[in-house]
Structure 1
Amino acid sequence: MSVTENYDLLVIGSGEAGKYLAWTMAGEGHRTAVVERKLIGGSCPNIACLPSKNIIHSAKVRSFTRRAAEFGVELESAATSMKGVQARKRAMVEGLRRLHLDRFQASGAELIMGEARFVGERTVDVEPADGGKRRIRGERVFLDLGTHATVPDVPGLAAARPMTHVELLDLDRLPEHLIVIGGGYVGLELAQAMRRFGARVTVIEYGPQLAGREDADVAEAILELFRDEGITVHLRTHLRRVDGDSGRDVRAVTDGPDGEHMIEGTDLLVGVGRTPNTGGIGLERAGVKLTDTGYVAVDERLATTAAGVWAMGDCAGSPHFTHVAFDDFRVVHDNLHGGGSTTTDRLVPYCMYTDPELARVGCNESEARHRGIGYRVLTLPMAAVLRTRTLSEPRGFMKMLIAADGDEILGFTAFGAEASELMAAVQTAMISRTPYTALRSAIFAHPTASEGLTFLLRERPVPPSAVADAP
């Protein structure tokens, strides 16, 4: 039997919430251990958020080369080098990895690379990567287990060895014809990037629209963008069977509005959702219960069903964004120091990094209708924002939802150039409960994307029916 090592804090997983909690608490003098099985710093700096945005930006640069003459630039050739794309990304990831290691060392938190499995309350056995075995007990334990890409149970799909975002974002070659299963954020971002690098791309989405949680007008704008860029999209289409081997020759048999079809490609990307990493680590021995969908069951303070154990980030069922995981850290850290923070009614921003970007905060029209919330709406085409003229990027629109019986801002959506930065200005107003009439009086710098709010808010909000009936 291994000797039990006792720590004030034991953190399982070094993702966004886990690492910040470890660094902060260790800096405050608490003996802290972090067990990480593979990715130092979690998925965001290694295989997800930052690597994907790095590659998406390379794809944007590639798209500019095709439009070079529009900007007065003459190019003789501008071929895609995926090895060059990957070299830039890998250099960034390595720099981030070194930054994390330096941060762990400076904080005093002990980083243990290895697998952890619970053997009892707040106690795990760890098999470190460098050999041996350790038993570690935490006075307080924090789960930051993350999620992984779901591969649905479709005949032939697993055997075809499809890519998830992890494999695609590390690809040193350009797919000849990429078939993307799923029209959510991951599938849409990577579909556009691969198309801009020069691949043929087909997207298969079982729902009636792309980006299923967004308003219909947003989904239609994305669909129009994809078709303009030469991406084939099949909506209301089910994947029935897959034959072949992704990376060489793959065939997707689908059933859609026009019946059964076979789509032939060279590579397959699956982007249909996430599965929590809660299986196989003995959570039941720790008294930690799961939800019906496999996430850790937590209360509004992120406490689990086991005393002295908390869960944070994706595994706790929080919205799957790094910025939400960071807020989970803030909630837990505040409560450890006697605060009263909760996850109730958080104002969570959503960003999809297609080009142009999609950014949303608060209610959209679909959610407002579903919840029976009365609202009025303001809309403005992005072409009316002069900043987009300087960029030659006039595509898209913005809209703001206003309470039906007051001046409260209920939500904001922007699909257009610099949409994520534009959204931040509205989010700030919503946090402070600033009425839209006060925001209307603000002076925004010219020419910026935020200046668009000046023209959006000059108009009078109208009921949604008036928008629907407009020509």
Structure 2
Amino acid sequence: MSTPEQYDAIVIGSGEAGKFIAWHLASQGSRVIAIEKDAMGGACPNVACLPSKNIVHSAKVASYFQRGSEFGIVHGDWRVDMDAVRARKRKMVDGLHEVHQNNFKKNGAEFVMGFGSLTGPKTVQVDLNAGGTRALTADKIFIDTGSRATLDPIPGLRESRPLTHIEALELDILPDHLLVLGGGYVGLELAQAIRRFGSRVTVIERNPTLAHREDPDVSEAIQQLFHDEGIDIITSATISSIEGISGANVKLHLTLPTGSSILEGTHLLVATGRTPNTQNMGLELAGVQTTPSGHIQVNDRLETTAPGIWAMGDCAGSPHFTHISFDDFRTVRDNLAGANRSTTNRQVPSCTFTDPELAHVGLSETEARQQGIAYRLTRLPMLAVLRTRTLSETRGFLKALIAPDDRILGFTAFGTGAGELLPAVQLAMANNLPYTAIRNLIISHPTLAEGLVSLFSAVPPN
């Protein structure tokens, strides 16, 4: 083998944390190379977060056409052109790709397409997508290879060639009947979007409720939303086998509490979880250990079991959100500069982009009860937020858990623009401010944020 090319840092994977650490170190004068197997920038700008929200918004526009008379709009016949929906999404992705190319060029980090694997403690081999290999060495190696959709070992599942979120975002025809395996974030967002485009949609969930990790009132609200939009829901379902090919005809053999059943559809979407991309990477050759779930084992500074090697994002077992991957980058960046940042007990906000949105940060009621944490509950229907009446978007509620000392323990919003309400609450929580700090604000009228004043004005006394 030829003598390895010397770099200051090697980054395997160009997802959120990977690309930012590459750009940062290169801008500081380090010689950096980033290796990416699939698409520059990783999943978020190409096949996940941003493309899915692009499709979700197109579906929102379709829903406005369906509700036109409600807003006094008279229109003639209309239809959804899935090829044009896809073209809009692709145009956005092309623009994001250009942004990433410019950032690599501006910061001076080298970028190569290929599969990177460790061949020793400080050495990496790149199997180039264009053919050939390169041998690299560096004192610092950063791994950010992400995750992929999990395909459970169900007889016939792989043979049915199901859609994952990647293929679902590339649909140029409207499925007659989409079967969605999984009632989590991805399944919920895409199920509603495809339904709004005009497909029949059935969601099959193994647990007793959709969004089963949420509080019961949240799960119930989502199920009612889906019922009202004409989405069929099957819960407590076990799939024993699958027949057929997605895109033509597919048949699910189900076991339900009431007995066996067969469900047929034209397309099958799998959204039952994520699997870390850590296979065949030679991790053991560099002394990098993995967890039983296949994630790279890291400490609270995101250091692996091998000196000089860090792992970030999904592959390191961090919560599977792009914003958490970005915080992983900040943790590593600051610690390289001499700080002592930790991932322990950091805030993990989330937003599910159903319509309306579901946003959350901190403790849920279920978690507080399980942990024996005392709290007071304040709750407000979105109907009481006057801005929602102007939008005809009154579905949902706000709620918060308040500690005996008046700190905010947790916040959940199910309603239009819910995700935009999170930062104000997060800021109060991060600085241990009492809920009254938000309650006493003067907030512009009529805005959705006014709802926070109303919510925290309704906190029951100790």
TM-score, normalised via structure 2 length:
0.99
Amino acid at match of 1:35: I
Which shifted more, 187-196 or 205-214?
205-214
Give the Cα–Cα distance (whole angstroms) in 1 for the partners of residues 321 and 440 of structure 2.
33
Secondary structure of the residue aligned to 2:113 is strand
Which shifted more, 442-451 or 44-53?
442-451
Matches within 5 A, 1:247-396: 247-396=247-396
Give the Cα–Cα distance (whole angstroms) in 2 for the partners of residues 371 and 142 of structure 1.
36
1:299: how far off?
0.2
Deviations 1:402-434 (A, max 9, x none): 01x210100000000110011222111111211
Give the Cα–Cα distance (whole angstroms) in 2 for the partners of residues 218 and 202 of structure 1.
20
Over aligned residues, Cα RMSD in angstroms?
A: 1.0
The aligned residue for residue 201 of structure 2 is 201
Deviations 1:35-62 (A, max 9, x none): 1111100000000000000000000000
Matched-pair contact (CA < 8 Å) for 1:382–1:397: yes
Give the Cα–Cα distance (whole angstroms) in 1 for the partners of residues 298 and 418 of structure 2.
33
Amino acid at match of 1:56: V
Give the Cα–Cα distance (whole angstroms) in 1 for the partners of residues 84 and 387 of structure 2.
31
Matches within 5 A, 1:167-178: 167-178=167-178
Secondary structure of the residue aligned to 1:250 is strand
Give the Cα–Cα distance (whole angstroms) in 1 for the partners of residues 243 and 164 of structure 2.
17
1:23 aligns with 2:31: no
Matches within 5 A, 1:52-131: 52-131=52-131
1:139 aligns with 2:116: no
Amino acid at match of 1:73: I
Deviations 1:54-112 (A, max 9, x none): 00000000000000111111111220000010000000001111110111011100001
Give the Cα–Cα distance (whole angstroms) in 2 for the partners of residues 421 and 258 of structure 1.
42
Amino acid at match of 1:187: G
Secondary structure of the residue aligned to 2:190 is helix
Give the Cα–Cα distance (whole angstroms) in 1 for the partners of residues 460 and 181 of structure 2.
39
Which shifted more, 347-356 or 250-259?
250-259
Amino acid at match of 1:118: L
The aligned residue for residue 402 of structure 1 is 402
Which shifted more, 305-314 or 153-162?
153-162
The aligned residue for residue 41 of structure 2 is 41
Give the Cα–Cα distance (whole angstroms) in 2 for the partners of residues 151 and 21 of structure 1.
31
Give the Cα–Cα distance (whole angstroms) in 2 for the partners of residues 461 and 189 of structure 1.
34
Amino acid at match of 2:344: T
Matched-pair contact (CA < 8 Å) for 1:377–1:462: no
Secondary structure of the residue aligned to 1:368 is helix
The aligned residue for residue 423 of structure 1 is 422
Give the Cα–Cα distance (whole angstroms) in 2 for the partners of residues 259 and 358 of structure 1.
33
List alignment gaps of at least 5 residues for structure 2: none
Give the Cα–Cα distance (whole angstroms) in 2 for the partners of residues 232 and 462 of structure 1.
42
Among all aligned residue pairs of Structure 1 and Structure 2, give the percentage whose two residues are the same amino acid. Answer: 56
1:130: how far off?
2.9
Give the Cα–Cα distance (whole angstroms) in 2 for the partners of residues 175 and 225 of structure 1.
21
Secondary structure of the residue aligned to 2:457 is coil
The aligned residue for residue 51 of structure 1 is 51
The aligned residue for residue 442 of structure 1 is 441
Give the Cα–Cα distance (whole angstroms) in 1 for the partners of residues 328 and 143 of structure 2.
11
Secondary structure of the residue aligned to 1:119 is strand
Give the Cα–Cα distance (whole angstroms) in 1 for the partners of residues 430 and 153 of structure 2.
42
List alignment gaps of at least 5 residues for structure 1: 464-471
Secondary structure of the residue aligned to 1:457 is helix
1:374: how far off?
1.3
Matches within 5 A, 1:448-459: 448-459=447-458
The aligned residue for residue 225 of structure 1 is 225
1:395: how far off?
0.2
Amino acid at match of 2:421: L
1:462: how far off?
6.9
Which shifted more, 365-374 or 218-227?
365-374
Matched-pair contact (CA < 8 Å) for 2:376–2:459: no
Matched-pair contact (CA < 8 Å) for 1:276–1:314: yes
1:381: how far off?
0.3
1:189: how far off?
0.4
Secondary structure of the residue aligned to 1:302 is coil
Which shifted more, 331-340 or 258-267?
258-267
Give the Cα–Cα distance (whole angstroms) in 2 for the partners of residues 103 and 177 of structure 1.
42
Matched-pair contact (CA < 8 Å) for 1:189–1:352: yes
1:297: how far off?
0.3
Matched-pair contact (CA < 8 Å) for 1:6–1:139: no
Matched-pair contact (CA < 8 Å) for 1:358–1:414: yes
Give the Cα–Cα distance (whole angstroms) in 2 for the partners of residues 250 and 462 of structure 1.
56
Matched-pair contact (CA < 8 Å) for 1:117–1:124: yes
Deviations 1:314-337 (A, max 9, x none): 001000000000000000000000
Amino acid at match of 1:455: S
Matched-pair contact (CA < 8 Å) for 1:296–1:317: yes
Give the Cα–Cα distance (whole angstroms) in 2 for the partners of residues 438 and 267 of structure 1.
50
Deviations 1:368-387 (A, max 9, x none): 11222111100000000001
Matched-pair contact (CA < 8 Å) for 2:53–2:353: yes
The aligned residue for residue 468 of structure 1 is none
Secondary structure of the residue aligned to 1:11 is strand
The aligned residue for residue 411 of structure 1 is 410
Give the Cα–Cα distance (whole angstroms) in 2 for the partners of residues 268 and 2 of structure 1.
47
Deviations 1:120-165 (A, max 9, x none): 1121111222333210011100000100000101111111111110
TM-score, normalised via structure 1 length:
0.97
Give the Cα–Cα distance (whole angstroms) in 2 for the partners of residues 39 and 128 of structure 1.
13
Matched-pair contact (CA < 8 Å) for 1:378–1:462: no
Secondary structure of the residue aligned to 1:83 is helix
Amino acid at match of 2:147: T
Distance change in 2, residues 1:363/1:462 (3 Å): farther
